Amino acid sequence: KAGVTQTPRYLIKTRGQQVTLSCSPISGHRSVSWYQQTPGQGLQFLFEYFSETQRNKGNFPGRFSGRQFSNSRSEMNVSTLELGDSALYLCASSLEGHTNYGYTFGSGTRLTVV
Amino acid sequence: GENVEQHPSTLSVQEGDSAVIKCTYSDSASNYFPWYKQELGKRPQLIIDIRSNVGEKKDQRIAVTLNKTAKHFSLHITETQPEDSAVYFCAASWNTNAGKSTFGDGTTLTVKP
């Protein structure tokens, strides 16, 4: 079956702009989690959506937001981009949540803010 | 919240040797402990996991052990091969926060032929 699809793969944005990233989970998976990966900070949890509801949220500012659609596809949005937002954003799909089955990660969107 | 510490940050071994990576966690409520392997430029992939009701789990050359009392778990790779070279992440999560997990900072394993 198809894996987790993230689009776009690469993005270059200017400070102050906003960006929307997309994630399509594995068919049948209802949980989508988002992580920010940077060389110095590892994998940091952003938020998790389950059945169109945000179930968990990490310690990121309100500029980071997300949503999930009825087909389980999820988007995350970052407004007023800062240089420090440059990172690899990974989407992780799971059937019910990480504690039951583990994650299947997408290939990520590499965001560069200039 | 949960805190996961992972050691060492880098590990270099000769092909055929064993490699051990250790993680400690802070929240005794954590009950699921996966390990992910991330090759250069690729996505993290789940390689093995263990739940809190089990002390050890093996899958061919890899094994994970869990000590709930001491709140630490370890990844063991035997007969290492150059293709084992990657960054390995441990993670911890618990049922009441399903969908969220805390990751260690990663261990860069280099297997020298």
| Contact residues, B window 89-108, toward A, CB-based 8 Å cutoff | 89, 91, 93-95, 97-106
Inter-chain touch B98–A45, beta carbons under 8 Å: no
- Residues 13-52, chain B: which have Cβ within 8 Å of A? 31-32, 34, 36, 42-46, 49
Q: For the CA atoms of B19, B23, B29, B30, what is the dihedral angle to 10 degrees?
A: -60
State mean pLDDT over A45-55: 92
Closest CA to B48 of B19, B76, B79: B76
* Residue among A42, A98, A108 whose CB faces B99 most closely: A98
Contact residues on chain A for B104, CB-CB shorter than 8 A:
42
pLDDT higher than threshold 70 for residue A62: yes
> Which pLDDT tens digit goes with each residue over B40-70?
989 999 999 999 888 999 999 999 999 999 9
Tokens of A114: 């200039």
